[in-house]
Structure 1
């Protein structure tokens, strides 16, 4: 019967995490040639190429399955040690890789992680990506759980609704005075500069389309960090769509104003490996509970699904 030696599978996971054999060797406190030999031995035993030795190193489809197993075994080991009343090596903490979209990370996502870290010997490795793409990190075994816009469960995972991130168009009063001198009309925004997160962010373009405005020739600033994006809007660089987490204080102070038009809701879901794991269950309880507390209910979500 073919078996996958856990130590060799762990080595493959470390190589992918670190990006190169040399970096993996430093983390494992062995030589690069020893790392290479472990990978070759595993490939020979399984009869498959597992690793593309590029910079950074990349997994093949077979390698992805092995790394997913290695991460699941590490999780189950943590649960077993916890049940036995021990945490392994003194001071050791179990790494928990998770994926999250930028706006959730900048607003509500860290608070439940802080509570979890106080109760469990874990460290979180966060992968930030657009919510439309975080599910792929689950499929590859890179992460154990993800905030995603995907309502259908990834194979081998379970899904729970979090809520909807509600975005509203805002700008500074000076920006409005310059670009929207007439009351009640948004048509001038067709020539006003806006702020996009990156070239995959179509939130502002979709909002313009809902308002009947052609955004094809609009000037765009690209600010690819959530807090910096909000700061760019607050500084008057352009208008943009922000969740109330990021705009409420400025709206209350009058340094930002609502432009009008419909809000856009982005439904969010929590997906994680479908394993019977007390640690994963605790993570889900905290994240799903926080999401449902601070986000708009999914049944109220309206408008097109967009990205950020």
Structure 2
């Protein structure tokens, strides 16, 4: 027989993770730290798993992430039910937490949120993260939905394809004239390059894919960790870079950018993942995101 998970213990575990310490969780729950510790230990005994790493701040283990996600889903269902029963506070909006990559946030995603109906009242909590890592926030139960590059659903989540985001290799005309006179594969291995952050290997991947391409782009790198700043840095001539088509096109039309390889681009498939919940709030957001993506992304 599978033991049940008592709600008070589940909610206590979530409070510890959210507050970061047992003492802070106790204050938030208006109980003693001893009571918090006992509830967490009882839940660990019931599940037969260690659920928390006793660090500062406290972190959930892999098993703890499952319980945290379950706790957040329970809280979401409770809020929806209270709303449908008219038990919510006067004018209290529903919070929807979403992980989204910087380039989507800078180009098409905010337009999707403007298409969400005004009723029920929603407020959005957006967390910016690389599309290769947004699924991790879903897995940890930190967000309810995510724009991700992974077609493999996180446990407890559904997934739908949104389309492909196209990136163009570009530089300013002056930069191209000064640094890219020879064969492109050799020039890009030496020319200054703009990258988003230290985890960004997009430019390296493009260089490796060129016929006879080198192992990576130049080690002379400018780190610009915002989507808008990245495109502006390339247009200003700091280096070349892979810029989203939606941002590059206006700059190409005005002559501030030139394409380095007119026949080459890179498409990144994007997917929408969300909790498998019968939640009106999530459903309305998902439809608005899918509709906007169909217009803004390549099929």
Query: Fold match, TM over 0.5?
Result: yes
SS of equivalent residue, structure 1 residue 254: coil
User: 2 CA distance for matches of 1:15 and 1:124?
Assistant: 24
Q: Deviations over 1:84-119 (max 9, x none)?
A: 3x2512343333222222211222212223443833
Which residues of structure 1 form unaligned runs of 5+? 298-308
SS of equivalent residue, structure 1 residue 125: strand
Q: 1:13 to 1:107 in 2, by over 3 A?
A: farther
Which residues of structure 2 form unaligned runs of 5+? none
Q: Is the 8 A contact 2:205 2:216 kept in 1?
A: no
The number of residue pairs the alignment matches comes to 295
| 2:135 matches 1:128 | no
Match of 1:17 in 2: 18
User: 2 CA distance for matches of 1:159 and 1:203?
Assistant: 24
Match of 1:236 in 2: 237
Q: Is the 8 A contact 2:132 2:148 kept in 1?
A: yes
Match of 1:305 in 2: none
SS of equivalent residue, structure 1 residue 132: coil
Q: 1:18 to 1:96 in 2, by over 3 A?
A: farther
Match of 1:270 in 2: 272
Residue 246 of structure 1: how far off its partner (Å): 1.8
Of 285, 290, 298, which aligns to 1:296? 298
Match of 1:5 in 2: 6
Residue 167 of structure 1: how far off its partner (Å): 0.2
SS of equivalent residue, structure 1 residue 293: helix
User: 2 CA distance for matches of 1:107 and 1:62?
Assistant: 36
Q: TM-score, normalised by structure 1?
A: 0.83
Query: Once structures 1 and 2 are overlaid, which stretch shifts more, 252-261 or 45-54?
Result: 45-54
Q: TM-score, normalised by structure 2?
A: 0.86
Which runs of structure 2 are paired with 1:57-136 in the superposition (5 Å)? 57-84=58-85, 86=86, 88-116=88-116, 118-136=118-136
| 2:139 matches 1:139 | yes
Residue 29 of structure 1: how far off its partner (Å): 6.4
Q: 1:264 to 1:137 in 2, by over 3 A?
A: same
| 2:188 matches 1:189 | yes
Q: Is the 8 A contact 1:117 1:123 kept in 2?
A: no
| 2:246 matches 1:250 | no
Match of 2:207 in 1: 208
Q: Is the 8 A contact 2:185 2:214 kept in 1?
A: no
Q: Is the 8 A contact 2:99 2:134 kept in 1?
A: yes
Stretches (4+) displaced over 6 A: none
